[in-house]
Amino acid sequence: MPTPKTIDTAGLRLEFTRHGEQALATALKTLAALPNKAQDLVSKTVLNGSENRPAWHVLSRLGAKGLDAPSQAAADFLQAEFTRMADWVDQRVEEAGAEGLDIIHLGAGGSETPMLALHTALSVLQTPRCRVHWVANLDGATIDAALAAAKPERSWIIINSKSFRTQEVMRNADIALRWLGDGIGTDKARQRLVALTANAELALQRFGLPANQIFRSLPEIGGRFSLWSAHGMVLLLAFGRETVTQLHAGAHDMDQHFLSTPLESSAPGLMAGLSHAYRVRFGLPLLSIGLYGDAFSRMPLYLQQLLMESLGKSTSADGMQPVHVSGPAVISGVGTPVQHTYFQLLHQAAVPVFHEIVAVAHPWHRHLREHMALLANALGQADALWNGKDASSWQTELMAQGMSPEAAARAAHHRACPGGRPSTFIWMERLSAYHLGALLALYEHRTVVEGWLYGINPFDQWGVELGKTLATKIENALLSQNAQGLSPETAASLDYLRTHSN
* CA-CA-CA-CA torsion sign (265, 267, 272, 273): positive
Domain assignment present for residue 48? The answer is no
The answer as to whether 215 is a domain residue is: yes
**CATH code of the domain in which 301 resides:** 3.40.50.10490
* 112 & 138 share domain: yes
| Beta strands 286-292 and 354-360, pairing class | parallel
Tens of pLDDT, residues 359-386? 999 999 999 999 999 999 999 999 999 9
Which among 323, 327, 325 is positioned nearest to 287, based on CA atoms?
A: 327
CA distance 189 to 73: 35
Taking the mean position of all CA atoms in its chain, how far away is CA 114? 5
CA-based nearest residue to 295, from 200, 202, 382, 365: 365
450 shares its domain with 475: no
- Flag whether pLDDT at 2 surpasses 70: no
Average pLDDT taken over every residue of the chain: 94
256 pLDDT above the threshold of 80: yes
* List 29, 65, 151, 340, catalytic entry: 340
User: Would you call 309 a catalytic residue per the annotation?
Assistant: yes
407 and 348, same domain (yes or no): yes
The model's pLDDT over 209-245, given as tens digits with 9 standing for 90+, comes to 999 999 999 999 999 999 999 999 999 999 999 999 9
- Of 355, 358, 352, 357, residue with least CA distance to 419: 352
Q: Give per-residue pLDDT as tens, 286-298.
A: 999 999 999 999 9
Say what the pLDDT of residue 193 is.
96
Concatenate the DSSP letters of all residues of 332-357 into one string.
EEEETGGGGTTHHHHHH-SS--EEEE
Select from 387, 439, 397 the least CA-distant residue to 418: 387
Indicate if 468 belongs to the active site: yes
Instruction: Identify whether 49 is part of a domain.
Output: no
Residues 64, 203, single domain; the answer is: yes
Catalytic residue among 309, 356, 444, 450: 309
Averaged pLDDT, 154-182: 95
Same domain, 168 and 292: no
Pairing of strands 354-360, 329-335: unpaired
Q: What is the pLDDT of residues 50-101, one digit of tens each?
A: 999 999 999 999 999 999 999 999 999 999 999 999 999 999 999 999 899 9
pLDDT score for 227: 96
DSSP 2: P
As a whole number of angstroms, the distance between CA 42 and CA 88 comes to 28
Structural domain harbouring 475: 463-500
The 10s digit of each residue's pLDDT in 381-423 is 999 999 999 989 989 999 999 999 999 999 999 999 899 999 9
Band of residue 500 on the pLDDT scale cut at 50, 70, 90: confident
Specify the pLDDT at position 12: 98
Per-residue pLDDT of 17-42, as tens digits, reads 999 999 999 999 999 999 999 999 99
Summarised one tens digit per residue, pLDDT across range 334-353 is 999 999 999 999 898 888 89
Which residues are registered as beta bridge partners of 206?
none
Catalytic residue of the set 201, 468, 473, 475 = 468
Q: Which among 359, 449, 54 has a CA at the least distance from the CA of 220? A: 54
CA distance 354 to 424: 9
Domain shared by 439 and 467, yes or no: no
Torsion from C-alpha of 148, 149, 155, 157, nearest 10 degrees: -70
